[in-house]
A and B are shown apart, each in its own frame.
Chain A
Amino acid sequence: MAEVVLHGIAKTFGDTVAVDDLSLTIRDGEFVVLLGPTGAGKTTTLRLIAGLERPDCGRVTIAGRDVGRQSPAERDVAFVFQQYSLYPHLSVYDNLAFPLRSPARRLGVEEIDRRVREVARMVRIEHKLQNRSTRLSGGEMQRVAIGRALVRRPAIYLMDEPLSSLDAKLRAELRLELKRIQKELGSTLLYVTHDQIEAMTMADRIGILSEGRLVQIGTPREIYADPANLHVAARLGQPHINLLPIDLLPGAAVPSGALTIGARTEHLEIATSAQGNAEVDWIEHLGDQNHLHIRVRGHKLVTLADPYLSIKPGDRINLTLRQPLYFGPDGERLR
């Protein structure tokens, strides 16, 4: 396990700037999640660390040594790919054993067998060890892919949306499991996802990427409660943050220069009132949550509904802001 540092790395493909002057420190034993829209450069960042791409400029250091001239094998990283993860001509067992059998490692047959079985139990695939890897479901394949990374103890684990094709239940289980394993081993892990629940629950720190730039990095709490700009604020929160003109609702202490107010559920106070400033449009029942769709003078808002609040579509309510977020014309946060 080791600290991994990116010093101002950049990578362009033709005209596309995939990664732009990115600096990031992943501390020894830290779980960092990269969050960003599609095409933001998340995969490219992982590939730059692994040595599968050469940066146009900047340096990557792993445990203090500059790895710029090292091959992927020498860098001692493990990678879980977004797709095409398993060797199709090998069985599950051989897939898991593959990294251990590398000529550079030279482990004994028994040692390999012990570690393969241990990791198979960890990712719950031990009943399919002899299967051809092409005869697995998508979820099983992803578990084997994760297992193939976990079978080693590299300087850093790089995982590119490893849980994306699992069903919700298994995903929740593996999320916990992965976090537990990481803590137990004290592993350094850089993890890419689109899923904010994964990011919020697993990360020590979350980095938000946009168009190849690292927009903000901080603890999940910081990123959620204290976003640096509109882009970051829009990435987290379910339902999505509501963006409103500053004079729409009462209760705001607007700083000068603010153009937009960002209001999540916790920034909105609801009271039933026949003379209220808003009207309930409809209520979306998602099972564990109820989304309340509200209309205020032609603007639409979505917020979480208190299950004990007795309102129905058509009711009038009074909506007040409570310490919302303010953004300037360039989208930067104003405090």
Chain B
Amino acid sequence: MSSVNTAAHSVVEPTPTAKRIAGTIVILYALVTMIPLAWIFLTSIKSPPDSISYPPKVVFTPTLEGFCNLFTTRTRQTPDYIQALPPPTGTCDEITRGRNMVIAGPSNYWPRFGNSLLIAFGSTFLAVSLGTLAAYGFSRFRVPLADDLLFFILSTRMMPPIAVAIPIYLMYRQFGLSDTALGMILLYTAVNVSLAVWLLKGFIDEIPREYEEAAMIDGYTRLQAFWKVVLPQATTGIAATAIFCLIFAWNEYAFAVLLTSGSAQTAPPFIPTIIGEGGQDWPAVAAGTTIFLVPILVFTIILRKQLLRGITFGAVRK
């Protein structure tokens, strides 16, 4: 390329060709990672026979059977009994009768989903709140043994959390925290708070103290200055941290299986149990998974702008 030509380009702006190549790679990668998601969604609207047919069916008649099976429990009946019933009241009723079954009642999916929402968002809120305060303290005050403390906080993440499952199980039984939402919130908060402190300390370190000092001179207390000046500037970091915490708490399976069984059970351990309720009901499992993905998706989209800036971990901000 001639020197005149290169000089015409801005130094920091990639050339159009480079942009096109990068774009193509990103799109291809996105497609590859989205295939499993697409497959799950397609399975959720297949009929059970279609879902296990070999070779897999790509063209099929969509049905709501998976969703019906997800939301209901059903009992098998004789054709004569079904014939004698009054006409079906809804789509699900009709589909179920077609399989020689009647709806016995709602399934546990929504209560479990609700538990997941409560536990994941509750623990994320706690972990991020505590993490922000701790990170601020570490960043701004001379904490005795700060480095050792920070290392200690991080060291709780150095083994897989499940390695301490047995002690926690015993402890929870002792304290009556087994199978309670509070117990799960505390547990996920404890696991996430170390991540939150470390991530947020980096972000808060980057906010010059002069802002708080200015606010304190302007007539605010330190706490008010933290609230009015530091927090608004840390939103990027808080959003990024919140998403990481939420994804962990939302998807966590091992502790959930171990510590919850009934009223506080979350969705991840519940979804596999659907398989048992009448053969290999893959569409129902897929339907449960599809719905399960929605909250994270919504949360991520809401915080997308903050996340994009935050995910660079302050590398090239300012």
Give A contacts to B, CB under 8 Å: 50-52, 71-73, 75, 77-79, 81, 83-85, 87-89, 98-99, 102-105, 148, 152
Contacts and interface: CB of A to CB of B under 8 A. Distances in A.
A182 to B, nearest CB: 19
A89 B233 contact: yes
A199 to B, nearest CB: 24
B105 interface: no
Contacts of A81: 210, 213-214
Given A88-B233, A89-B232, A102 B219 contact: yes
Nearest to A82: B210
Contacts of B232: 89
A72 B216 CA distance: 6
A84 B211 contact: yes
Contacts of B218: 73, 78, 98-99, 102, 148, 152
Given A89-B232, A89-B233, A79 B220 contact: no
B233 A52 contact: no
Interface in B215-253: 215-221, 224, 229, 232-233
B233 A85 contact: no
B208 interface: yes
Interface string B280-292: 0000000000000
Given A103-B220, A104-B219, A83 B213 contact: no
15 contacts: A52-B217, A77-B217, A79-B213, A81-B210, A84-B208, A84-B210, A84-B211, A87-B214, A87-B215, A88-B233, A89-B232, A89-B233, A99-B218, A102-B219, A105-B219
A220 to B, nearest CB: 28
Nearest to A89: B232
Interface of B, helix, strand, loop or mixed by DSSP: helix
A111 to B, nearest CB: 15
Contact of B217 (A72, A88, A103, A105): A72
B217 A78 contact: yes
The 5 closest A-B pairs by CB, nearest first: A102-B219, A99-B218, A84-B210, A89-B232, A72-B216
Interface of B: 208, 210-211, 213-221, 224, 229, 232-233
Residue picked from A78, A83, A87, most chain B C-beta under 10 Å: A87
Nearest to B221: A73
Given A52-B213, A75-B217, 17 more contacts: A72-B216, A73-B218, A73-B221, A79-B217, A81-B210, A81-B213, A84-B210, A84-B214, A85-B210, A85-B214, A87-B211, A88-B211, A88-B233, A102-B218, A102-B219, A102-B224, A103-B219
A85 B215 CA distance: 11
A102 B219 CA distance: 6
Nearest to A76: B219
A51 B216 CA distance: 10
Residue picked from B214, B221, B224, most chain A C-beta under 10 Å: B214
Contacts of A72: 213, 216-217
A79 B219 contact: no
A78 B218 CA distance: 7
B219 A73 contact: yes
Contacts of B214: 79, 81, 84-85, 87
B210 A73 contact: no
A152 B220 CA distance: 14
Contacts of B215: 87, 98
A87 B231 CA distance: 12
Contacts of A88: 211, 233
B211 A102 contact: no
Given A72-B216, A88-B233, A103 B208 contact: no
B242 to A, nearest CB: 18
A73 to B, nearest CB: 5
A152 B233 CA distance: 25
Contacts of A152: 218
A203 B210 CA distance: 27
B314 to A, nearest CB: 14
A51 B218 CA distance: 12
B212 to A, nearest CB: 10
Given A71-B221, A73-B221, A81-B210, A87 B216 contact: no
B230 to A, nearest CB: 10
A98 B220 CA distance: 10
